[in-house]
A and B are shown apart, each in its own frame.
Chain A
Amino acid sequence: MRQILTLSFLLFSLLVSSQTTIIRGKVSEKNKTPVLGANVQLLDTYDGATVDAEGNFKFETTETGNYVLQATCLGYDTFTQKITLRGGEILVNPILKEGFNELKVVTISAGAFEASDEKKVTVLKPLDIVTTASAGGDTYGALKTLPGAQVSSGDQTGLFVRGGTGSEAQTFIDGMLVRNPFFASSPDYAARGRFNPFLFKGTVFSTGGYSAQYGQGMSSALILDTQDFPDRSAGNLAVSSVGLGFGQQKLWPKQGRAAGINVNYTNLAPYFWLYPQIPKFTRKPEYIGTEGFYRQKTGKNGMLKFYGYLNAGKVGLSIDTPDGPFAFATTNRNFYTNLTWSGLIFDSWKISAGTSFSTDWNNIQSSFNAGYIQADTFKFKDDLAQVRLVATHYFGRLTALRIGAEHQISKDGYENPRYGNAAIKDHYTAIFAESDLYITTRLVARVGLRAEYSSLLAHANAAPRASIAYKMNNTGQFSFAWGYFYQKGDSLLRWQTQYRSTPGFQLAEHYILNYQYIQNDRTVRIEGFYKRYDHLVRTLGALDNGGKGYAQGLELFYRDKKTLKNVDYWISYSWLDTKRKFWWYPSEVQPTFAANHVATLVMKKFISKISTSVGMTYSYSTGRPYYNPNQPASAFLIDRTPAYQNLSLNASYLTNIGKAFAVFVIGAQNVLGNEQIFGYRYSTKDTNLRMPLTTAAKRFFFIGAFVSWGTDRRQEVLDNQN
């Protein structure tokens, strides 16, 4: 009994001895700015307080002993401090450090236009690509509205960047080179890109100075990243004036698996019947294609991705030339596959491994001076197989070291009854190392080296690259990029047949200085560049690497989503000064694919009242040089085509049909019917006779409906939501 008494006494004394401690203080940043709304609390208790407008807090606690005081606020790193409670008053003044914020971290913006939903500091969103009026749903068409790219290249397929030819701009999907990113083209008519823009979650259009991870593009790299895991099972249907499309994707969230397939059929015969074209189409363009993807999550962070594409198409036309009709027909089949795995191993190493295989078959029949197709047939077949491995090691949150290697085996060949058969094969190997070195969050340096070897060229090269970027404040930054960019020559198969030899690597050296300002939906970019070309392939007489040249220019980009309500517009301007001595050019001159001044205005307005988005694109380019055989050698390529103008309009009406999401689109390109002359075709017999190279029709019209719907596996999607 006595013991019990003692015990209760002890208990009682414990109770009365519990005292109140007052904790107060001020929560601020290092520079004394109070952090409003911060939450201060004693961990493992209910006690705490919210910071007031002056940054002060005060609360009481009846706990005693050792505790941890914590202060938190959105956008700041958490502050903790050990305190001992024994009554009385405790003064604590937590200082909160601003947390990691993507908006405040510098990125290398020299030469790079990025479109991504994931990153905030980007100039474009993927959706911008499909909503640009002049693009007609083609990624490459949208990129032509950005500074650095030529707009008046309607006679040649490809992107012509900063004085480079179309083949000097390479396309990469998930890191791997794409050999034939464009549909098969007819002479003097540009072809569109093959790949559906919705396949990609991110796009980087580099107009120079790009990463050592990529090679073989002297001017430009277009880096496309395929979508990760889809959100939901869904279907889509497209009906348009040029064809039909159907797609279905399905999700198995529990298994971490997704797969999808698209089928599309394009036939321009009905459109051409309605709206006659200038050349006589002996075979109306017709394509049938299918593509499929597969995604499998592996482990915690890994993902296996497969993409496959198969397309067959044909087109035939007869073009009037001063020497009579020139007939041309092609059937093309293209097969492309891409398999990649990426994931984390050992926590801080990210591995990206990939393999890709593609084949392109082109059967080309052509004839001069005959209105019909005769047996002068070339069967081309290009194969490319490649493997690629990149390992990235992260030091902390930003700094990273990348090392990688790739190997490509390419085989190009043709069969022709008159010229016989020929083929070339190349083993191309590259290794690279690169580091993104963040000295502070405002200053980053990227240093990289790429080494390449080609068995066909029997040459190796080493391409150093470096860039540095400095962010002065939260809105503006400077970056500078420099590097060596090597590329094999084009038409190696033809040179091999014609000269029995293969020229070595060509070189471009880039210097780029960029200023970028992004604030409140306004973007300004100013970029100046100088490029030196060396070892360009020449075919005048002998085949050698004696060509050289330069390109320099200044580019402006301004985008504004804020000033005008619901209006988003951008303006691009490029000034280019370039000369080259290469191919069969007798002297160093401005090449045929380069215009000195190019300007583009893109406008988009969403009218919410009628749920319609309207857009316009206006492009202007000064004339390009063209070859005039009447000029003496001293005046080679001195003539210029007339200036180029193009006004395109589009409108999309967005609506719901039942549970499906539907978009109705109408579009018109070159609405004003401006004559677009890309050059002239001269008679071989009488050089006073010539005919302009122009588009197949003055204007192009498009009308279509796109419907997408989620399938009835909604529950799975929801379960996968978090």
Chain B
Amino acid sequence: MKNILLLFVFALFVTQTQAQKYNEKFVKAMEKALTGMDSLSTAEQWQERSNNFERIAQKEPGQWLPAYYVAFSQIMVFNMEKDQSKYEPIINKVDKFVMVADSLMPDNSEIWVLKNMAATLHVRQNPMVNGQKFGPLGGMALEKAKKLNPENPRAYMQEGLSLLFTPPQWGGDKVKAGIILEKALEKFKAFKPETTIHPNWGEKATEMFLEMAKK
């Protein structure tokens, strides 16, 4: 009886720790929020996803993934937003959630890729004022992302994108962008996300950008 009780307590303990990482409800909610992300095409749709992730982040304050996806969705909202007056509050939100994710999961390659993307938003918002500060910061974030995980395809993808969209006199290079994007694609092919809810986006977009680089 004592043994059974012990086993029971132990089982409870195990399921508890597993629950912290893989709480079924959490995974389900995340999977639902992640469904069909490839096909979103408007700022409103991304805002809805962002809201989904933000609700999960609120319920699971110890998890870095919801915060990661809030920041990511807001970056996508920025990309599709035409009203420039909304840029600044969006960037502030991106920065806030990147920071939350980073504090929950320090030294994560995926989060450093986000930091690069966040820096790029600052530059795009006001190149004259922010370019000199955030340009180099973005580059350094990518280096760190690659150092933490040399196999992270998204780090190479963002490096390729910045080479593709930076004007040549500022160090942009279409040919080099193509080479890096190909490398990113190779890494995508070999990439296995840790779980179904870990970052696994970008392969389709990389293929598209590679086409652009080759033109």
Show the binding face of A for B, using Cβ within 8 Å.
36-37, 39, 41, 43-50, 53, 72, 74-75, 117, 120, 125, 127, 231-232, 606, 608, 610-611, 654-656, 659, 661, 708, 710, 714-715, 717-718, 721-722
Contact = CB atoms under 8 A, between A and B. Distances in A.
A46 B59 contact: yes
Interface residues on B, range: 35 or more
Contact of A611 (B44, B86, B170): B170
Nearest to B28: A46
Interface in B15-63: 25-26, 29, 44, 47-48, 51-52, 54-56, 58-59
Contacts of A127: 128-129
Nearest to B49: A50
A721 B88 CA distance: 18
Q: What's the dominant secondary structure at chain B's contact region?
A: helix
Contacts of B88: 120
21 contacts: A37-B44, A37-B47, A37-B48, A41-B55, A44-B58, A46-B26, A48-B51, A50-B51, A74-B90, A117-B129, A120-B88, A232-B133, A654-B170, A708-B132, A715-B140, A715-B144, A717-B137, A718-B140, A721-B141, A722-B95, A722-B102
A140 to B, nearest CB: 22
Nearest 9 pairs of A and B residues by beta carbon? A39-B51, A611-B169, A50-B48, A37-B47, A50-B51, A41-B55, A714-B140, A48-B55, A46-B29
Interface-central residue, A37, A46, A606, by most chain B CB under 10 Å? A46
Contact of A46 (B25, B86, B90, B140): B25
Contacts of A655: 169-170
B56 A718 contact: no
Nearest to B90: A74
Given A39-B54, A655-B169, A721-B141, 13 more contacts: A37-B51, A39-B51, A44-B59, A46-B29, A46-B55, A47-B55, A127-B129, A654-B169, A656-B169, A710-B136, A717-B137, A718-B137, A722-B99
Given A125-B129, A718-B141, A43 B89 contact: no
Given A75-B89, A611-B170, A717 B48 contact: no
Contacts of B137: 231-232, 717-718, 721
Interface in B101-148: 102, 115, 128-129, 132-133, 136-137, 140-141, 143-144
A654 B171 CA distance: 11
A127 B58 CA distance: 41
A508 B141 CA distance: 55
A45 B102 CA distance: 23
Nearest to A720: B137
Given A46-B55, A231-B133, A721 B143 contact: no
B132 A661 contact: yes
A102 B132 CA distance: 25
A412 B140 CA distance: 52
Nearest to A75: B89
A232 B47 contact: no
A610 B169 contact: yes
Contacts of B204: none
Contacts of A75: 89
A46 B99 contact: no
B192 interface: no
A584 B102 CA distance: 70
A127 B143 CA distance: 30
Contacts of A611: 167, 169-170
Contacts of B86: 74
B158 to A, nearest CB: 15
A181 B52 CA distance: 57
B176 interface: no
Nearest to A610: B169
Nearest to A612: B169
A117 B115 CA distance: 22
Contact of B136 (A49, A50, A232): A232
Nearest to B144: A718
B171 A656 contact: yes
Interface-central residue, B52, B58, B141, by most chain A CB under 10 Å? B58
A527 B89 CA distance: 33
Contacts of B102: 722
B112 to A, nearest CB: 8
Contacts of A72: 54
Nearest to A39: B51
A50 B47 contact: yes
